[in-house]
Structure 1
Amino acid sequence: MLYRKWGTDKDFVASYTSSNESDREIIEEVKTVMKAHVIELYLSGYIKKDTAKKILQAINSFREYTGNYEDIHEAMEDYIIKLVGEEGGWVGLGRSRNDHVSTALRLKMRDYLVNVFEVLYSLRISILERAEKTTEVIIPVYTHFQPAQPTSLAHYLLYVDEELDSVWDQLFTSLRLVNRSPLGSGAIVGTNVKLNRKREAEMLGFEGLVYNTISATASRLDLISTISSLTLLMLIFSRIAEDLILLSSSFVGIIKLPDSHVSTSSLMPQKRNAVTMEILRTKAGECFGHLSSLVTIYKALPSGYNLDLQELNRHYWECVKHVIPSIYVIKDVLEKMEVTGRFDDKSITATDVAEDLALTGIPYRKAYMEVANKIRAGTFKSEISFKSSIEKKAVIGSPNPELIKTEIELKKENIELKWKNFREYKSQFIDKISELKVIEDDILQ
């Protein structure tokens, strides 16, 4: 082992404290960070171009690694020194694993968030397109899981989009917070080497710096905040899954799930079990568990780097790996599910009857009790159709088909504006990263 001063590489402590398993998630990001560091050493005049070239070539050839290393950073540095020789040792100048891993984690999370935004946009567009076609597809809406009032499938879908819109904003804030560079901060108080931290940040496409070197090396707040936002997204999906499980059951039977989302029983051939929705609920639960682990580990740490921080890493990736598949599952089921139209309980128009009475001049509470007494006595009758019920709704955000059409247009404009802002923001760091490649190619030539 390259850094170990006490004991031997055969001590059980070496394997017990190793982060090699979770580090495999960030191999490419660690290589990119090391390249930026080497290039900065060259641009700042600390190493010669030929040395930089040899080290960059070694970094590019680094792949999977084996051996008793504490982490990927030690493994990579040892690999460089063995391949390049003594000159390879220059990579240790002005560098700590603390600022390097913090930078690599942010690069990984940034790339992941980009992918989330791209599939989340596709989901939201799909939702709005189906809402346009279902403004008059009637379903009952529930409170306390008791039938409440008539609404439309479009109204339900727009509720889902509204929830997603809130998380979109939180995720975009997370993206900007994550997109700040810790590189050049050393172990905790920086370094005597005059590294240009702003230039390093530019090369890696970061928007700016995590300025304070304690925060840069030892804070994981932005990453935990991102997992929190992603967990909220999974929370939304879990509620949708629960809705669809209940509404598609034979007890209710309002929704029919696509055949590709159900499975039968090994014994009971009539069953249509909502298996994808059940699994989605568990994935959401796993994210809640990983978020709980993150905050529980993080809450008691003293400021500055502690090895506990490396134990957070696997919880980031264990959660994030569930999110994009879940978006695809939700998109597919919302696109393909059918409304059976089997609901005919006219009592859910009772509120319409009471409001219509009140609008003739009767105090609403008196009208309410009049209708309630008829329901209790079993004499309630309503001439109001479900279609008429939703058409009567007069407030913004209600299922009135005309108001729904306006809402859909507003939501389309909203998501297109946010998508445009995201793409412009993404292009900024993509362009900057391409500049790093240009400098690297110049050195390698």
Structure 2
Amino acid sequence: MSKVTPLSGFPEFLPSDRIVELQFLDTIRETFELHGFASVETRAVEPVERLSNQGEDADKEIYGVRRLAAEAGEDTSLGLHFDLTVPFARYVLEHGGKLAFPFRRYQIQKVWRGERPQEGRYREFTQADIDVVDSGELPNHYEVELPLVIAEALRKLPVPEFVVKVNNRKIPEGFYRGLGLDDVATVLRIVDKIDKIGPEKVIERLVESGATDKQARLAVQLADISSPDTSFVEQVRALGVEHPTLDEGLEQLSQVMAAAAEHAPGLLLADLRIARGLDYYTGAVYEIYLVGQESFGSVGGGGRYDALASDGKTTYPGVGISIGVSRLVHRLVSQGLLKGTRSTPTAVLVALNAEEDRAEAMRTAARLRARGIPVEVAPAAAKFGKQIKFADRRGIPFVLFSTENGPEIKDIRSGDQQPVDPAVWTPPAADVRPGIETLQENS
């Protein structure tokens, strides 16, 4: 038998950590549904042509899909989706005649990116997205609503303090055009690397791309501006650059920040360094960071896109934001902050005195399950001490015994053992299902 070798970038959880991930997914899903978002699931593959040319080196990261036994001339132009926004835009175009607009959707699925694996960077991971799309026009108030929904979901979870950094793509675009830099996409991609390579290297690369030293330094100065309120407008104006698109972006971001200050003070930080590498964003852009762990990178993000979903006749502008569930959970688990309270859903182990008792034990288990209690029967008859150790290793809190005096339930954590009627007994609510144990104080 060949040796099993792990594949880097394709993380797999142990059962107790998977419980943490499932709790996150359940909470996120329930929160999205509380806000009226409907669930959709799209296929894993899209035409490579649709996936490519989206910026952020997307072309290099797409996994191509083909049959190993593909014949000559067989179509091999499919790729695994690298995010959920591009396939969702296709979904809207394909099913637009059957959807009611504005359409509110959430989507929780795997995505694949062929990038170099490192901490927090995976080749396969789960994202949880919400988007609102409309036909023709999309009001700006959705750009405020979506980060508030995401924040509500995260605040229900044992997540450290976080901040949603927000910008508007029209601000750097208008600023660069006001400087005379018309290759906006190139400037954005260079400036977007400022955290990785530093401002001086960014200036150097901007000059290499055709900017003057003054233009490059002003672009970096713009990226240095941030504020928890609308004061960023005065800071931008002080740089002395004017352009109608810049004016529009400043106004739109001011509306977002003013509304956030009313509904969720301190949640949003206007940060003009945020650009998002994907080219389809046209308005608000978001990045979610854990406070004090910014060097880890964002654990979510998104933005507004006005032309991604268009069939030439009708355009469906949208705005969306996602949580990188795998990235976030792996970070918290690997830091020793969280773990599952047990490695199995089972709350009760029905013990066996002898193998002949299995049929009755299975009937007892069925009665408990009928009342929503997760139960399993011991794998084999053995001394009670051995069966208790089996339950303890798996984190099962209760063992149900048949004794001379009738059924008894033992809480193996406290050692307490009492007579019980399996037809009516129910464990404490906190023990029915596994939960998340916080191992350190999140701050």
TM-score computed with the length of structure 2 as normaliser = 0.22
TM-score computed with the length of structure 1 as normaliser = 0.22
- Computing the radius of gyration from Cα coordinates, the structure with the larger value is 1
Structure with the higher helix share, 1 or 2: 1
